[in-house]
Each structure stands twice: as structure tokens, then as C-alpha cells.
Amino acid sequence: MAGNNPTTTEYIQHHLSNLTYGQLPAGYERYDQTVLSEATWTMAHGPAEAAAMGFNAFHVDSLAWSFGLGVIFCWLFFSVAKKATTGVPGRLQNFIEMIVEFVDGTVKDMFHGRNPLVAPLALTIFIWVFLMNLMDLVPVDLVPRILELVGVGYQKIVPSTDPNITLGMALGVFILMLYYSIKIKGIGGFVKELTMHPFNHWAFIPVNLFMELVGLLAKPFSLGLRLFGNMYAGEMIFILIAVMYSAGLFFGLFGGLLQVGWAIFHILVITLQAFIFMVLTVVYLSMAHEDH
């Protein structure tokens, strides 16, 4: 934590800072006033050092939590599938079967091509994003305080509040869109779709190309930034409510009521954002499979 008694600004900045690993340039003066004689890979101490590391820095906490939640998802579904029986299912098996059937029905309604990858991808996205969003319900001070005891100064446990994670997933969807657009329509068909639509005349090729490229590039940005924006705003509200605990008994009790109410409402936001990310992925891949 930024000092034993951090100010409100320091408290918020601390909770919004990632555990960052990257390379500081030679000659950089660190937080303890030591000057680096050569470029050094190290953990950042504070937002200023993280910013100095530039684009090649790694958000260790976001990567670790997203990877760990992905492992939990795979292990849980694999273990249930391995123990599945044709008889009366248990509660966990029944719950997972309901999720699988829900995602399968959604894909059948929205995807009009033939691709065995889309349904498993949609299921993976829905559950993985949901689990990442679900971390937002963990008290904001719990994990950072515990990790402080072992010397970890910064920790963001909600991967979907990191634009690198959300835009990274959106980039993966975008690559699949381009791959299937070229595979289904061919390079010539894909180029023709970009240049001869919506105005089917050679004179409008520059206009068509500009409009289609803007629309194409907007899809991954909107996909990633929508999830990031909603989850970041939700995390910020939890942090602001937590600040009220240091303002006295009355505001602390009021903050507790606000936190419970916001957590209940946020359950809907968490589920809805995972569903929207999954649906848009399916819709974009369906558009990539359409051969006009």
C-alpha cells in the first residue's frame, strides 16, 4: 500500500495499478533514488516506473489471474464431463449441462454457417469472461492485503479491467474473422466485399474501401473496449465505496449497504457482459462465413 495511511488519491491509484514487469531504460532514476547504469528488467514500483517501461511491459497479475481462471474452467468442465453418467445427473453436472445447452442454442440461432469450432469457442469465451468478471465481487482489499504480507506491492485481480486482456481476446476474434472471411470467400471475394459494397460500381471503390475498413476495424475495438469499460467502471465504484470505510462509523455502515447493493446489481452486469462478448463473437464469425 502507498504508505501506512494513504490519502484517498493514493489508495485509488494503488488499487488501479498493475503488478508490472518490464525493462527500465539506462539512466532512469528509480523510486529509491538509485540511477540505473544500464537497461534493467525488473518489477515496477508505482505507476511512473510502469509507464517508463513502455509497450513491452507485462502485467503479471492480469496474465496470472486470467491463466489461472482458464485452468480452473478447463479442469472443472473436464472433471464433470469425465464423471458424467446417463442416469440422474448431480447438481454440478446438471448446472453445466444447462450452460452448455444454453450456449449451444444461442449459437444455433445466430450462426448460420457450418463450423465445429464456433460452439466450443463461444462456450469458452462465455465461461472464461464470466469467471474473470466474477473476481470483481471479491473485496477490493482482501487479496492485495494478503499479498502485501509476502512483499507483493500491487495486485489487480480482475483481468477484464485490464484493456490488454480484453483487447487481446478481441484481437484473437478479429484474426479468426479475417481467416474465415478469406477461407470461405477467397482472397478475391474478400477484397471484392471490401471494395464493391455497399455501392456496386468501380467509381465508388475508395468510398467503399474506407467505409468497410472502418467498420471492420471498429469490431475488435468495440468488442474489447465495451467489456473493459463496463468492468473498469464497476471496479472503480467498489473502490470508491471502500474509501467510505475510513470516513467514520456512519459512512462505513452506509458504505457497507452500498457495497452489498452494488454487488447484487453487479452480478447482472458480470453475466451480461460475458454474454454480450460471446454473442458478438458468434455474430462476427457468422458474418465472416456469409458468402454473398
Residue type for 96, please?
I
Residue 129: band (very low, low, confident or very high) from pLDDT cuts 50, 70, 90: very high
Cell of 216: 471492420
Which of the listed residues 41, 56, 71 is the one where a domain comes to its end? 56
pLDDT band for position 229 (cuts 50, 70, 90): very high
Is 166 buried (19+), middle (13-18) or exposed (0-12) by CB count in 10 A? buried
Q: Is 80 exceeded by the pLDDT of residue 1?
A: no
Domain that holds residue 35: 1-56
Same domain? For 14 and 38 the reply is yes
Q: Which of 22, 38, 56 is the last residue of a domain?
A: 56
Please tell me the total count of domains within the chain.
2
Of 174, 58, 71, the closest CA to residue 132 belongs to 71
Question: Residues near 66 by Cβ (< 8 Å), separated by ≥ 6?
Answer: 128, 132, 159, 165
Is residue 113 domain-shared with residue 178, that is, in the same domain? yes
- In this structure, the answer to whether residues 129 and 164 fall within a common structural domain is yes
Same-domain pairing of 151 and 28: no
Q: What is the pLDDT of residues 51-63, one digit of tens each?
A: 899 888 999 999 9
Do residues 77 and 124 both lie within one domain?
yes
How much is the pTM? 0.91
User: Exposed, middle or buried: residue 213 (CB in 10 Å: 0-12, 13-18, 19+)?
Assistant: exposed
Q: Looking at the structure, do residues 106 and 197 belong to the same domain, yes or no? A: yes
Task: Examine the fold and report which residue of 32, 56, 80 is the final residue of a domain before the chain moves on.
Answer: 56
Alpha carbons 237 and 229: distance in angstroms, whole number: 12
pLDDT of residue 4: 61
Least confident of 175-184, 191-200, 235-244, 245-254: 245-254
Cβ atoms of 62 and 76 closer than 8 Å: no
Q: Please give the DSSP secondary-structure letter assigned to residue 199.
A: S
In the predicted model, is pLDDT for residue 175 greater than 90? yes
pLDDT at 70: 95
Range among 26-30, 82-86, 273-277 with highest mean pLDDT value: 273-277
Assess whether 65 and 13 both reside in one domain. no
Instruction: Say if residue 121 is in the same domain as residue 51.
Output: no
pLDDT computed for residue 273 by the predictor: 95
Q: Does residue 210 sit in the same domain as residue 257? A: yes
Tell me: cis bond preceding 89? Omega within 30 of 0 counts.
Answer: no
Catalytic positions? 222, 226, 230
Rounded-to-integer distance, Cα 242 and Cα 254, Å: 11
Cell of residue 203, nine digits? 467509381
Claim to verify: residue 284 and residue 261 sit in the same structural domain: yes
Quick one: cell of 63? 496474465
pLDDT at 67: 96
Q: What is the pLDDT of residues 183-211, one digit of tens each?
A: 998 898 888 988 888 888 788 889 989 99
Mean predicted confidence (pLDDT) in 91-109: 92
Q: Which amino acid is at 224?
A: G
Confidence of residue 132 (pLDDT cuts 50, 70, 90): very high
Dihedral angle at the C-alpha atoms of 69, 72, 74, 76, nearest 10 degrees? -140
Statement to judge: residues 44 and 165 lie in one domain: no
Which of 171, 175, 146, 142 is CA-nearest to residue 158? 142
Tell me: do 213 and 232 sit in the same domain. Answer: yes
